[in-house]
Copies of this chain bind each other. A is one copy, B any other.
C-alpha cells in the first residue's frame, strides 16, 4: 500500500512529488513523462520566482532534470478512475494497472478543450472518456469519437473495429490515423456543440444555432489527456467546474487532495507548484494522524 498516488505531471503534481520524496513517503507520480503540454508549450514565463524569463521548454527541462536528480520516476499511464475504499483508494489506469494508496493528490489540470453541452449530463449514459474501458458496450453501434491528440489514435482504431459506424472528429492537426482504410469511419472536421438524448445519448449536434445539424449516435467518446476530475472520482464536489478545496487542499473526500489548475484560477505555474506543496504537507499530516489512530 503506497502512501500516495499523485495524478498529473504539471507543476502541481511535480511539486507534490518533490515534497513527499523529501519527506520519505512512498508514492507513484502518474502522467505524461513529457510533462504537462501546458508547460512545454509556454513561450516566456515572466513571473516564476527564481527563474528569470524561462521558456516553457526550459522550465520543463529543469523539472525533468530535478525529478531525475532526486530519483522520482514518472509512471506513464492514463488514469481512468479513482475509487474510495475504506481508508484507502484504488487508482485504475487504461492499461489495466491498479495502484492502492492511503491518499491521492489530484493534479490533473484543466482541459483547454471546453466541455460541450450534455457532456457531464450523459456521462455513463452514452458519454465515455475511455475506449478500452467502455468500448465493448458499443459493439455494432454508431459512435462519435472526439480525439484531442494523435496519442489517442490507437483507441480510435480500436473503436473503429468494434462499432458499426464511427464519426471520427480530430481536434488536432496532422492526423496520422489511416481512417480511409476503414469503410465504417467518416472523418468530420467540425466541432460538435451539443449532445442530445433522453435517457441515453441519441445524437450529436454541430454548427450554429441557426442551422444545426444533428447526427444520430449511440455513444460519444472524448479522448483527452486527462479526464475531468468529476469523471475520475465519484462523489467529488466541484464548484464552477473546478474541484472544491479548502486552504489545505482538502476535497470533500477524506484522504483525497487536489492542487493546481484543477482547483481554479489563476492558472499559473507558481500557484500550481505552491498548491502541490500544500497538498503534500496535508498528505503527510493526514498519514501522521491516521497512524496515531491505528
| A residues neighboring B (CB under 8 Å) | 11, 14-15, 18-19, 21-22, 46-54, 59, 62-63, 65-66, 69-70, 245, 247, 264-266, 268, 270-278, 281
Given that A69-B52, A266-B278, A270-B277 are contacting pairs, would A47 and B63 also be in contact in the complex, using a CB cutoff of 8 Å?
no
Cα–Cα, bound, A89→B51 (Å): 32
- Main secondary structure on chain A at its contact with chain B? helix
Cα–Cα, bound, A278→B48 (Å): 12
CB–CB A65/B52 < 8 A = yes
CB–CB A47/B19 < 8 A = yes
Copies of the chain in the assembly: 2
Given that A50-B59, A62-B50 are contacting pairs, would A271 and B266 also be in contact in the complex, using a CB cutoff of 8 Å?
no
A227 to chain B, nearest CB (A): 24
Cα–Cα, bound, A15→B274 (Å): 11
Collect the chain B residues with CB atoms within 8 Å of residue A19's CB: 47, 268
Collect the chain B residues with CB atoms within 8 Å of residue A265's CB: 281
CB–CB B53/A69 < 8 A = yes
Cα–Cα, bound, A48→B14 (Å): 10
Cα–Cα, bound, A119→B268 (Å): 39
CB–CB A46/B65 < 8 A = no
A260 to chain B, nearest CB (A): 10
A54 to chain B, nearest CB (A): 8
Q: Across chains A and B, which 5 residue pairs bring their CB atoms closest together, nearest first?
A: A274-B274, A18-B47, A266-B281, A22-B46, A52-B66
Other A-B contacts than A52-B62, A268-B278, A268-B281, 13 sampled, CB-CB below 8 A, are A15-B47, A18-B46, A18-B47, A19-B268, A49-B63, A49-B273, A50-B54, A50-B59, A51-B62, A52-B69, A270-B276, A272-B274, A273-B274
Collect the chain B residues with CB atoms within 8 Å of residue A277's CB: 47, 266, 268, 270-271, 274
Collect the chain B residues with CB atoms within 8 Å of residue A15's CB: 47, 49, 270
Collect the chain B residues with CB atoms within 8 Å of residue A66's CB: 49-52
Q: Choose from B11, B53, B245, B278 the contact partner of A49 (Cβ within 8 Å).
A: B11
Name A266's closest neighbour in chain B (CB-CB): B281
A164 to chain B, nearest CB (A): 48
Cα–Cα, bound, A131→B19 (Å): 41
Name A48's closest neighbour in chain B (CB-CB): B50
Name A264's closest neighbour in chain B (CB-CB): B247
CB–CB B281/A270 < 8 A = no
CB–CB B47/A22 < 8 A = yes
Collect the chain B residues with CB atoms within 8 Å of residue A46's CB: 18, 21-22, 70
A93 to chain B, nearest CB (A): 24
Name A14's closest neighbour in chain B (CB-CB): B49
Collect the chain B residues with CB atoms within 8 Å of residue A278's CB: 266, 268, 271, 274
